[in-house]
Chain A
Amino acid sequence: MNKIIFTFSCLLMMIFSLLSLSVGAVSISIPDLWYSLLQKDTSFSFIVWEYRLPRVVISILSGFGLAVSGVILQSLVRNPLASPDVIGLTKGAGFFAALVIFLFPSSPSYVLPAAALTGAFLVFILLLLLSKRLTLSPDAFALVGIAIGAVFQSGIQYLLVKYPADINMTLLWLSGSLWGRGWSEVFSLLPWILILLPVAWWQYPKLNVFQLGDEYSQTLGLDIIRQRFWLLLLSVSLAGVSVASVGSIGFIGLIAPHIARKLVGGRHQLLIPLAAIIGANLMLIGDSIGRIIIVPREVPVGIMTAIIGAPYFVYLLRREHKRKG
């Protein structure tokens, strides 16, 4: 059963990738796409190689990062409603990105992702400080995260109102967009994901134990506080690098782990890879639909993922309720 699920979702990822390559302001038929990918001198080669392929790769990588970050957080907080955006990470990253866009609009392109990453790690430090170095209960930790996120959110809004001239660029970044992303972004994201993803997967025994509750994990010999620290750091890094390259895309980190958990259950050795693939799928389909809904303009992928993901999420939680109630 699990094999079927994995094969199917990988297949879906390939289909969505092809779809994402072929649709847009200029739609490319599958045979044309094939030729353009093989030989670089057809009329569509430029679009495919310079515009659409990097987008597809970035979609997949950032989908991986956000989804796995969500899996880790949900296991840490022991609550299926936790996610990088709810806990304030993406808001912190967004605030710093907005600072750069508004205050240093002429800074070189690598500054923006660096600032976003800084913001994510600042939230991490704040979380550590305000949760008494993670000794608070997971519930309190989640609330502190929500509060930090709310504060950064209002910071973002202050900047938006103060500097109305660059508002659209910032809103675009804040809702998460793949517009204009090229190979340089791919290569700045790729090494991080390649390192962090396997590291995250290797943590699966700890994450499995974590789900059981603090007392169990302690009895089983887990140094909770220290493990929490490392797992949180891992989650922040994954979300941080993803957000730095695509903007603060919400809901992937919330929905992808959820769907994956419904399919393969709570064992993290399966949950982490499946959630990653589902996250990538959501990114790909969100980006593709966003490009064709109102040609020639684009709906930012972050908004599309929210629109696609939210109803499904509500449906999932409703079902969970009925089972419990």
Chain B
Amino acid sequence: MSRFTIRKQKPKTFLLSLFAVIFIFIVIGFFISLKWGQATISWRILYEAITYQGQDKEHLYIQTLRMPRTITAFVIGVHMALAGLLTQLVTRNPIASPHIFGINAGASLSVVISLIVFPSFTLTASVYFAFIGAILGALLVFSLAGIQQKQHVRLALAGIAVHFLLSSLTEGLIIMNQHSTDSMMFWLVGAVNQAGWQEVQTLLPWSITGITIFLFMLPSFRLLLIDDDVALSLGQRIMFVKLIGMLIVILLAGSAVATCGPIGFVGLLIPHVARLLAGEKLGTLVPLTGLLGGLLLVYADFFSRFIAYPYESPVGILTAVIGGPFFIYLARKKGRASL
């Protein structure tokens, strides 16, 4: 198993320059995301809009549409990547992610139910529904697969079965409510193009809560890198740590799904990339995963505007295009390892 091989810690200068490069790319990503799209905005107007100096149509366009959208994309990316990392740590399963685990689909389903039953619901309220759905999805997967270690494939099969079940129920609800189909499609793929400041406001408290608990629990999460038996014999409450871990996953993934729908594969892909770049040390792995997730989603959102220009495509499709082949690669690699 890879987690027993002690990898050489990457030198500090490498890590510092890595973070610097990522930071620069995030800043560039923000700017190009604000500038280009269905309409191109000149740099001067962009500057005025960001500094809130202008009140023209174009300024407002930047301020009320593109800025919240870009921020939402970044935050969602952070959420999904961290939730993915934590899922992989808690389940000790390299192919785990909230998407494959029915968490995203569960959240989606319960939000769609809440929207159909209580059409007047606000976004804030549907976040709670998303949490309930996420918890139910996760419980369903774990009750199907059990929480024994080294059951990677069983867990993946159970997860994907639950995912299909929940998303087919969502599809069913969408078919039954034909008049709302267009806006509901959103709940099957995930997109950030409708996000406004309200979405940012809804998301941020949860990301602050989730990330704070995450950082607070970071020393305990190191336990997840060693075997359960070893941790137990060291006198650690491993189940408690795992429970907190899943709670954070549900907070992060649930709130992300409630605002932007189930954006898949970010949680699977990014932790692996981060691990490849920075090694297993959680102190660097966690911030790197978060930043890379945000980076990926900002750029994915940017490029998704041009797939079917001038129409917008949901960003979830682009992340799936990147993440799907990676998943196949991972499956083959893990399969060979288990032979």
Residue on A nearest B324 in the bound complex, by CB: A151
Contact of A168 among B153, B161, B175, B338 (CB under 8 A): B175
Check B331 for interface membership: any CB of A closer than 8 A.
Answer: yes
By the criterion CB–CB under 8 Å, are B153 and A161 in contact?
A: no
Check B231 for interface membership: any CB of A closer than 8 A.
Answer: no
In chain A between 294 and 325, which residues have their CB closer than 8 angstroms to a CB of chain B? 294, 297, 299-300, 302-303, 306-307, 310, 314, 317-318, 321, 325
When A143-B331, A148-B328 are in contact, do A81 and B171 touch as well, CB less than 8 Å? Answer: no
By the criterion CB–CB under 8 Å, are B156 and A154 in contact?
A: no
In chain B between 290 and 339, which residues have their CB closer than 8 angstroms to a CB of chain A? 308, 311, 313-314, 316-317, 320-321, 324-325, 327-328, 330-332, 334-336, 338-339
Residue on B nearest A136 in the bound complex, by CB: B335
Contact of A83 among B161, B175, B308 (CB under 8 A): B161
By the criterion CB–CB under 8 Å, are B328 and A171 in contact?
A: no
Residue on B nearest A294 in the bound complex, by CB: B176
Contact of A325 among B146, B313, B339 (CB under 8 A): B146
By the criterion CB–CB under 8 Å, are B327 and A139 in contact?
A: no
By the criterion CB–CB under 8 Å, are B169 and A143 in contact?
A: no
Contact of B338 among A140, A306, A310 (CB under 8 A): A140
By the criterion CB–CB under 8 Å, are A157 and B188 in contact?
A: yes
Which residues on B sit within 8 Å (CB–CB) of A146?
Answer: 100, 156-157, 160, 327, 331
Check A79 for interface membership: any CB of B closer than 8 A.
Answer: yes
By the criterion CB–CB under 8 Å, are A154 and B175 in contact?
A: no
Contact of A86 among B143, B157, B308, B316 (CB under 8 A): B157
How many of chain B's residues touch chain A, expressed as a range? 35 or more
Residue on B nearest A82 in the bound complex, by CB: B157
Query: Which label, helix, strand, loop or mixed, suits the secondary structure of the A interface?
Result: helix
Residue on A nearest B157 in the bound complex, by CB: A81
CB distance from B187 to the nearest CB of A (A): 11
Cα(A88)–Cα(B140), bound, Å: 21
Residue on B nearest A254 in the bound complex, by CB: B161
Give the contact stretch, choosing among B22-30, B49-57, B177-185: B177-185
By the criterion CB–CB under 8 Å, are A162 and B308 in contact?
A: yes
When A137-B339, A154-B321, A325-B146 are in contact, do A142 and B313 touch as well, CB less than 8 Å? Answer: no
By the criterion CB–CB under 8 Å, are B313 and A137 in contact?
A: no
Residue on B nearest A157 in the bound complex, by CB: B189
Check A141 for interface membership: any CB of B closer than 8 A.
Answer: yes
Contact of A130 among B100, B146, B320, B328 (CB under 8 A): B328
Check B271 for interface membership: any CB of A closer than 8 A.
Answer: no
By the criterion CB–CB under 8 Å, are A161 and B336 in contact?
A: no
Check A37 for interface membership: any CB of B closer than 8 A.
Answer: no
Which residues on A sit within 8 Å (CB–CB) of B100?
Answer: 146, 150
By the criterion CB–CB under 8 Å, are B185 and A164 in contact?
A: yes
By the criterion CB–CB under 8 Å, are B165 and A140 in contact?
A: no
Contact of B335 among A139, A148, A158, A299 (CB under 8 A): A139
6 pairs of A and B residues whose beta carbons are closest in the complex: A140-B335, A154-B320, A143-B331, A151-B324, A81-B157, A303-B172
CB distance from A86 to the nearest CB of B (A): 5
When A147-B324, A154-B264 are in contact, do A303 and B335 touch as well, CB less than 8 Å? Answer: no
Of the listed residues B152, B169, B324, B330, the one surrounded by the most CB atoms of chain A closer than 10 A to its CB is B324
Would you mind naming 22 contact pairs between A and B with Cβ atoms under 8 Å apart?
A79-B153, A81-B154, A81-B157, A83-B161, A86-B157, A86-B164, A140-B331, A140-B335, A143-B330, A147-B324, A147-B327, A150-B264, A150-B324, A151-B320, A151-B325, A160-B189, A162-B313, A171-B171, A250-B164, A250-B168, A251-B165, A318-B143
CB distance from A103 to the nearest CB of B (A): 14
Which residues on A sit within 8 Å (CB–CB) of B152?
Answer: 139
By the criterion CB–CB under 8 Å, are B181 and A168 in contact?
A: yes
Residue on B nearest A160 in the bound complex, by CB: B185
By the criterion CB–CB under 8 Å, are A172 and B331 in contact?
A: no
Check A175 for interface membership: any CB of B closer than 8 A.
Answer: yes
Check B130 for interface membership: any CB of A closer than 8 A.
Answer: no
Cα(A140)–Cα(B325), bound, Å: 15
Cα(A82)–Cα(B161), bound, Å: 9
Cα(A83)–Cα(B265), bound, Å: 22
Check B246 for interface membership: any CB of A closer than 8 A.
Answer: no
When A150-B320, A167-B185 are in contact, do A140 and B143 touch as well, CB less than 8 Å? Answer: no
Q: Given A132-B332, A314-B140, output 13 extra A-B contacts at Cβ < 8 Å.
A: A81-B158, A86-B160, A130-B328, A136-B332, A139-B338, A140-B339, A150-B320, A157-B188, A161-B185, A167-B181, A171-B171, A250-B168, A254-B161
Which residues on A sit within 8 Å (CB–CB) of B154?
Answer: 79, 81
Cα(A270)–Cα(B314), bound, Å: 48
When A81-B158, A158-B313 are in contact, do A139 and B175 touch as well, CB less than 8 Å? Answer: no
In chain B between 113 and 159, which residues have their CB closer than 8 angstroms to a CB of chain A? 140, 143-144, 146, 152-154, 156-158
By the criterion CB–CB under 8 Å, are B185 and A303 in contact?
A: no
Cα(A81)–Cα(B277), bound, Å: 35
Contact of A150 among B178, B188, B317, B327 (CB under 8 A): B327
Check B95 for interface membership: any CB of A closer than 8 A.
Answer: yes
By the criterion CB–CB under 8 Å, are A140 and B334 in contact?
A: yes
Which residues on A sit within 8 Å (CB–CB) of B321?
Answer: 154
By the criterion CB–CB under 8 Å, are B336 and A136 in contact?
A: yes
Per-position 1/0 for A164-186, Cβ under 8 A of B: 10011001101100000000000
By the criterion CB–CB under 8 Å, are B331 and A147 in contact?
A: yes
Which residues on A sit within 8 Å (CB–CB) of B188?
Answer: 157, 160
Check A144 for interface membership: any CB of B closer than 8 A.
Answer: yes
CB distance from A236 to the nearest CB of B (A): 18
Which residues on A sit within 8 Å (CB–CB) of B172?
Answer: 175, 299-300, 303, 306
CB distance from B318 to the nearest CB of A (A): 9
Cα(A162)–Cα(B185), bound, Å: 11
Cα(A325)–Cα(B264), bound, Å: 33
CB distance from A67 to the nearest CB of B (A): 16
Cα(A321)–Cα(B145), bound, Å: 9
Cα(A302)–Cα(B172), bound, Å: 9
By the criterion CB–CB under 8 Å, are A174 and B171 in contact?
A: yes
Residue on A nearest B144 in the bound complex, by CB: A317
CB distance from A56 to the nearest CB of B (A): 22
